[in-house]
A and B are shown apart, each in its own frame.
Chain A
């Protein structure tokens, strides 16, 4: 295979690896409307991304190794071009929505009369089940978006 062809292949694979993670992140961004088709494509890409990006990274490494010899000034470029597939392989394993809105790892609870952290006028999402009552202050829910709990022996997810 000619060097030119190998170079082109390297650039294309690196770009594809990047696209696999950028497209869903672009489609599913807040303050932008989403279409059912856009969601479908994003879902498929998100599911494939962990495998596709690793395969792309391995392919790129193989190509760089092959092109290394004989390349002189362009060795810097060979290293730089490994960055997009490497970053993609890492990003495909991240949940960037949970960077923005940290999940509540260890939810703690206070008795109603000891909950001085809630203002009287603050809204709460409330549930009562099999004799157990729980309130989830909206100001906290609006950040975490979801809280998992077991109320009255029933496992639930509180969403906001």
Chain B
């Protein structure tokens, strides 16, 4: 998502082609070609210019609606819909089967593996979607910035936040039944928007960090120096720790139920 005004001129874009499975757009005003994923003009009079990125979110509709009940939603184009041009609900499984045509030969991950990528202070890092889902939340540091990556209950909506609270990094674990993070410093509960909703830090807001859901080959093509997150001890420790809490609380609950019956 990009701002279309550059040097006081508003550009109007058209689909103009494809570059290694990432599309190219052409602006009507100068005819320059722009790479969709980077917002950079790659050819033509504006070559080298960059559009300003607009912070975006890729989340499930139900979550968005809850957060933005007054928002507006793009309607399907009746002609495209009638012609059956729109992707089916399970489009991701279909896309996963499409061939990959790229010169990228970095097989650290499967080329069509779905990743979540973040770039902080020039450092790019990719997280396998399966890791993000299994280890929810991921506690990490990228480009010197401590961050947390969290998945909503729908299993698909992902957000990243800085873990800095009052100038200090905090750790989080997640309550699986809802999308709630708990920080280990104060025990406050934080919702999926990054706001503390219960506990001593209520009302505080974590700073959002931009992320991109992408396929490995595409992320790798535009972030050649990217590192890949590997499930480390830190997260394992938290997962284990939280499981222990869960198990003990479940035990307590079942013994309570036993006592009642």
Which residues on A are within 8 Å of B, measured CB to CB?
24, 28-35, 39-40, 42-43, 47, 95, 97-98, 101-105, 107-113, 115, 117-129, 132-140, 142-148, 151, 154-159
Contact = CB atoms under 8 A, between A and B. Distances in A.
16 contacts: A32-B101, A95-B15, A97-B15, A103-B14, A107-B74, A115-B61, A115-B75, A121-B156, A126-B56, A129-B54, A133-B68, A134-B72, A135-B68, A157-B13, A157-B25, A159-B2
A128 B68 contact: yes
B154 A121 contact: yes
Contact of B13 (A32, A128, A139, A146): A146
A112 B68 contact: yes
A112 B73 contact: yes
A127 B72 contact: no
B87 A143 contact: yes
A146 B25 CA distance: 9
A33 B65 contact: no
A142 B58 CA distance: 13
Q: Is the interface of A mostly helix, strand, loop or mixed?
A: mixed
B69 A113 contact: yes
A34 B76 contact: no
Contacts, number: 217
B185 interface: no
What 3 A-B pairs have minimum CB-CB distances, sorted nearest first?
A133-B71, A133-B68, A120-B62
B3 interface: yes
Interface string B63-107: 011011111111111011000011111010000001101110000
Interface of B: 1-5, 10, 12-21, 23-25, 31, 33, 36-37, 42-44, 51, 54-62, 64-65, 67-77, 79-80, 85-89, 91, 98-99, 101-103, 154, 156-157
Contact of A140 (B19, B21, B76, B101): B76
A122 B89 contact: yes
A140 B88 CA distance: 10
A156 B23 contact: no
Contacts of A101: 15
B21 A30 contact: yes
Contacts of B70: 111-112, 133
Contact of A108 (B43, B54, B60, B75): B75
A142 to B, nearest CB: 5
